[in-house]
Amino acid sequence: MQTFTLIYTVIGGLGLFFYGMKSMSDALQAVAGDVIKNSIAIMTKNRVLAVLVGLFLTVLVQSSTITSVMTVGLVNAGLMTLKQSIGVIFGVNIGTTITGWIISIKVGKYGLLLIGLGIFPLLFAKSMKYRQAGRAIFGIGLVFYGLLLMSDGFRPLRDMPQFLEAISYFSGQNYGAYFASVVVGCLLTMLVQSSSAMLGVTIALAVTGVIPFHTAAALVMGENIGTTITATLASVGGNKNAKRIALAHSIFNILGVAILFVAFPYYIELIQMITPGDPYYKDATGEFPNVAVHVATGHTLFNFCATLFFLPFVNQLQRFVTWVIPDGPIAETPHLVMLGEPHEVLPATGLALVKAELDKMKSIVDRMYTKAHKFLSDPVERQSPELLAKIKNYETITDNIQKEVMLYLVKLLERRLTEEQSAEAQSYMQIADELESIADYIEKMVFYSSKNKLDDLFVQDAKKDFFDYFASVEKYYLDTTNAFTAMKPIDMAFINRRSEELRITSETIRENHLARVSAGDYLPLTALTYSDMVVALRKIRSHTKHFADAYSKISS
């Protein structure tokens, strides 16, 4: 019965700890959207700033997993270079050590108080800001209370001869015991995919006296290796740069641990020298009150020193992972290169990834426009089956991207988003739909014309009317969509006025065309085709205006 009580107490405490960390992280993410969006731009400056941003974001959202996955996603979407992302990962490793300091604070008895203080604003506050503050406090309370339950659950283990005998090998002060502890810490962290949870368990075991300080320090070193599995899993299915940053993360942590492992006894002595109190001091209750701070100090010291050591070698690390995973042939991807599921990234990051995909989608439509002009105006190019196939392929790619963006955003909207993030997601949905529609009409315009000879299609002034209108609609489209790419504000009064001018121009072209048809200058089939092509341009004008309407909701 004692064993059963121990198991459910520890599992229950771990469950509360997990849920508390998630609640606290979700609340912090909800209010950090703008900060994260601005941080993405800062990351592109230099390696030191990238480290600081990685550190700051990990402290802010209290999850190295989220920041690591976010970084891989940004690299995969082309929003960050490999060198910049390596710097961010260095910062993530330092930032994650704040969790150890939070859970090393001896405030477990206040866990229920924090839960009580947080639940009321969480449930009853009208302001989203106060609700999220309550959610964060509630989460911190659960973390502390969960640790308290785990400590209570582990306490009987120190008096169980069978258990102590089973782990006696890991408690030894020799390299064999240190290595075994590193391996166990790595495997358990890979299994639960949460270095924070394993750190909490390690500190709880050390505080209750189940394992000594040096064993806890070795377990934490293994946890630093095990946590790299997160970025590795996130890179599966991603592009080569995503795989490279995951490899760089693994190399950084594995080499850091390997170097430190050689001097492990001296590392332990250094921690004891710079941290007040004796980690092996045992109080009247049989606990070791100083060991938690020592474990947290060791965790921070390792990651900080490893970052200082590797930071000058970012270029060499970049070259090495590029050599291991070399570039292959560049190919058009008929779908998104966006990484992972929406629930695995911060909402602000998910929206940044969608923006990057929409920018790529827009560039494909730009290329369609250019190739369509060649097909409609150059008799030689018109004979090339590759040109027509390329335009059709581009249209297929835009269809796929639009579907995947819509699905991604629908899933993202199921999460807790701020009003601004929700509005941005809905605008992106419409923008994706409008771009796909524009691509459709460009492809239709080309397809309509492919069944006719150019001389039959453009009679008398019909050619000038059509290509003048083609150029005007293209400029209208480019002016609007380029503003979106650069995230510059647009003048909707001008957009609306220009749209109306283009509509009137299309009516004039239609009247001129009817006059030529009435005069017998056109065959019936080519007359209909020309009319359909003008209608396609008019539809492009209409969808461009709708694009501007959607963008204007988030550009101000």
CA distance 397 to 390: 10
- The single-letter code of the amino acid at 187 is L
pLDDT for the residue numbered 331:
45
The per-residue pLDDT for range 496-539, each reduced to its tens digit, is: 999 999 999 999 988 888 887 777 777 777 788 888 888 999 99
pLDDT for the residue numbered 426:
92
Res. 236 pLDDT band, cuts 50 70 90: low
pLDDT for the residue numbered 168:
62
CA distance 64 to 2: 36
- The domain segmentation of the chain, as residue ranges, is 2-324, 342-555
pLDDT for the residue numbered 248:
85
pLDDT for the residue numbered 306:
85
Distance in angstroms between the alpha carbons of the first and the last residue of the chain: 64
pLDDT for the residue numbered 339:
42
| CATH architecture of the region 342-555 | Up-down Bundle (1.20)
pLDDT for the residue numbered 165:
63
Is the pLDDT reported for residue 238 higher than 70?
no
Half-sphere exposure of 94 (CA within 13 A, CB side): 22
CA distance 250 to 236: 14
pLDDT for the residue numbered 158:
63
Is the pLDDT reported for residue 351 higher than 90?
no
Is the pLDDT reported for residue 434 higher than 90?
yes
pLDDT for the residue numbered 223:
86
Nearest Cα residue to 230 out of 93, 80, 33, 42: 93
Is the pLDDT reported for residue 338 higher than 60?
no
Is the pLDDT reported for residue 265 higher than 80?
yes
Of 65 and 221, the structure prediction assigns the larger pLDDT to 221
**Minimum mean pLDDT among 23-37, 169-183, 420-434, 480-494: which range?**
23-37
The per-residue pLDDT for range 97-121, each reduced to its tens digit, is: 777 777 776 655 677 888 888 888 8
Tell me how far CA of residue 135 lies from CA of 22, 120, 122, 125, 348, in angstroms. Answer: 10, 9, 5, 11, 19
Res. 157 pLDDT band, cuts 50 70 90: low
Is the pLDDT reported for residue 447 higher than 70?
yes
